[in-house]
Amino acid sequence: MAKAKRATADPVTGDDDALGDDVALVALLAAGLRLQAADNLWRVSGNTLPHRALLREAGGNWNKLDQCWEFAAGDPTAQLATALAALPPAAAGHNSGEATAPKPHYWGHRARVRERVMKSGIEPLADYELLELLLFYSIERIDTKPLAKRLLDRFGTLGDVFAADPAALREFEIDQKTLILFRTAREAGRRLAERKVKDMPVLTNWQQLIDYCHAALAHEKTEQFRILFLDRKNVLIVDEVQQRGTIDHTPVYPREVMKRALALNAAALILVHNHPSGDPKPSRDDIEMTREIRTAAETLGISIHDHLVIGRKGHASFRSLGLLS
């Protein structure tokens, strides 16, 4: 798609209309907005989130796929520039001058939140405040509290927000920078939980193991079947994803499980899989599959310590339920 053509004043007639178009384009650029045009369709991208109301009022429609605002009725440059000029300088964009209009209610809010965290710690923050704080570092110059609350209302928990499908996040104009931030936060949490179960007997650190499995699987959108391979001291050798499936089924082959256990010289296994529905109650297929793996393991002298089913609402333990007795 070609960039919007930037006109200039006629050097013979001195016509300033074209020059005015240039001034309007500069105003959009100063606000962090980029305009492109082709085939009678104008697209505005860039720092659109602070200006979403303005763009909507100007007749724009949000394109979730291409992450831009589209205008089909005509070139919106002049209308947008006029609307931007009417904004308080603090809200107008990246290169605005000193504010002369009343400051918005959230002016200085980010500094106050940071000061509060440095003074009292981050633990007292509510989930929406923690998410708001994270959004400070990917979204500039707007009040991110309403966005944080809307994301939690839509997805439920912080973990669900961080694991949300990119297509669903586009409804909130979440850009790539914020998406990467969410994925980073999720992976950091998983790795921190993983460190607590490495190099130590997992049976004596059971809650840490549950926390790790929850961090790794609770928010997955499809089923995963994982195996924790343990040595003779019940120390974790490796945690591996054995199979990936659909939203309600994962094919598991006992022969492949035993083959891998022998290759790793594992003495015991903990089976783990998730239920994307959120309900960790074992299904009949889960029980039958576990029985087949246990039968194969017993012939090789390998113990099955447990089979954990992870859901957003908690977990289920086959051993606690008496399904391994």
Q: Looking at the structure, tell me whether residues 118 and 168 fall in a common domain.
A: yes
**What average pLDDT score do residues 248-255 get?**
84
Of 44-48, 106-110, 115-119, 163-167, the poorest mean pLDDT is in 106-110
Structural domain total, the chain: 3
Of 9-13, 38-42, 47-51, 316-320, the poorest mean pLDDT is in 9-13
**What average pLDDT score do residues 38-57 get?**
81
Residue 233 token pair: 């001291």
Last residue of a domain, one of 191, 210, 228: 191
The pLDDT, as a whole number, for residue 21 is 63
Q: Is there a domain that residue 253 lies in?
A: yes
Domain that holds residue 184: 109-191
Q: Give tens-digit pLDDT for 157-211.
A: 898 899 888 889 988 888 888 999 999 998 998 888 888 888 778 888 899 999 9
Residue 128 token pair: 């929406």
Does residue 277 surpass a pLDDT of 50?
yes
**What average pLDDT score do residues 253-260 get?**
94
Comparing 197 with 304, which gets the higher pLDDT? 304
Q: Looking at the structure, tell me whether residues 223 and 312 fall in a common domain.
A: yes
Share of residues in the chain with pLDDT > 90 (%): 40
Cα–Cα distance measured from residue 238 to residue 28, given in angstroms and rounded to the nearest whole number: 53
Closest CA to 138 of 176, 172, 108, 177: 177
Q: How far is CA 283 from CA 89, 103, 263, 288, 323, in A?
A: 60, 58, 30, 9, 12
Q: Is there a domain that residue 325 lies in?
A: no
Q: Is there a domain that residue 322 lies in?
A: no
Contacts of 317 (CB under 8 A, 6+ apart): 306, 307, 308
Does residue 16 surpass a pLDDT of 60?
no
The pLDDT, as a whole number, for residue 306 is 96
The pLDDT, as a whole number, for residue 31 is 79
The pLDDT, as a whole number, for residue 248 is 66
Q: Is there a domain that residue 2 lies in?
A: no
Specify burial of residue 52 (Cβ count, 10 A radius: 0-12, 13-18, 19+). Answer: middle
The pLDDT, as a whole number, for residue 182 is 94
Of 88-97, 135-144, 257-266, the poorest mean pLDDT is in 88-97
Does residue 246 surpass a pLDDT of 50?
yes
Last residue of a domain, one of 59, 92, 125: 92
The pLDDT, as a whole number, for residue 69 is 87
Q: Looking at the structure, tell me whether residues 120 and 48 fall in a common domain.
A: no
**What average pLDDT score do residues 96-114 get?**
63
Q: Looking at the structure, tell me whether residues 239 and 300 fall in a common domain.
A: yes
Last residue of a domain, one of 38, 61, 92: 92
Question: Following DSSP, what letter does each residue of 120-179 receive, concatenated?
Answer: H-STT--HHHHHHHHHHTTS-SS--HHHHHHHHHHH-SHHHHHT--HHHHGGGT--HHHH
**What average pLDDT score do residues 116-129 get?**
90
The pLDDT, as a whole number, for residue 107 is 64
Q: Looking at the structure, tell me whether residues 22 and 77 fall in a common domain.
A: yes
Mean pLDDT of the chain: 83
Does residue 34 surpass a pLDDT of 90?
no
Q: Is there a domain that residue 1 lies in?
A: no
**What average pLDDT score do residues 100-105 get?**
54
Question: Following DSSP, what letter does each residue of 1-55 receive, concatenated?
Answer: -PBPP-----TTT---HHHHHHHHHHHHHHTTEEEEEETTEEEEEES-GGGHHHH
**What average pLDDT score do residues 95-105 get?**
50
Closest CA to 7 of 41, 37, 45, 30: 37
Does residue 100 surpass a pLDDT of 70?
no
The pLDDT, as a whole number, for residue 239 is 92
The pLDDT, as a whole number, for residue 154 is 93
Q: Looking at the structure, tell me whether residues 209 and 240 fall in a common domain.
A: yes
Which band of pLDDT confidence, cut at 50, 70 and 90, is reported for residue 3? very low
